[in-house]
Amino acid sequence: MWHQTTLRLAPRPRGFHLITDDIVRALPALAEARTGLLHVFIQHSSASLTINEHADPTVREDFESHFNQMVPEDAPYYRHTYEGSDDMPAHLKASLLGSSVSIPVTEGRLALGTWQGIYLCEHRDQGGARQLVLTLNGERNRWRPEDGAPDPYRAR
């Protein structure tokens, strides 16, 4: 099975935003996948994606603090400055973190670790709406969860 959709995320402030639930809600076909892989790609150059701990909100704050220190605004050697002082640092941060993540799918669920979540990393002060391409491929269950019957293929 192959399934692809786009997910438009509303504008968010600069920082690291947990979007796992947004992704799952946008992909009803996920429940039909027995095994597979979900690829999430962001169609922007000043925001990125990452997977990390979702339980403690201070992790998000520490990420933001670290990246702001590692890639400062107004560095004297930046030449690409006409879109604002946060633009070039946003491109650098996005390059460091990456534009995609891939997550295994097992029995209709993302096979993330207990403490893992998917993050939108917004590197601009006014980044605007962001668009993700979600591509799911894998083996389809021969049953449908909405049928209400137990899955005869699930390991017991």
pLDDT in tens, 69-126: 999 999 999 999 999 999 999 999 999 999 999 999 999 999 999 999 999 999 999 9
Helices (H) and strands (E) in the chain, counts: 3, 8
Instruction: Return the pLDDT at 146.
Output: 66
Domains of the chain plus CATH, in order, are: 12-71+83-128 (2.60.120.460)
CB 3 within 8 A of CB 98: no
Instruction: Return the pLDDT at 142.
Output: 72
Instruction: Return the pLDDT at 149.
Output: 60
143, with CB counted inside 10 A (0-12, 13-18, 19+), is: middle
pLDDT band at residue 18 under the 50/70/90 scheme: very high
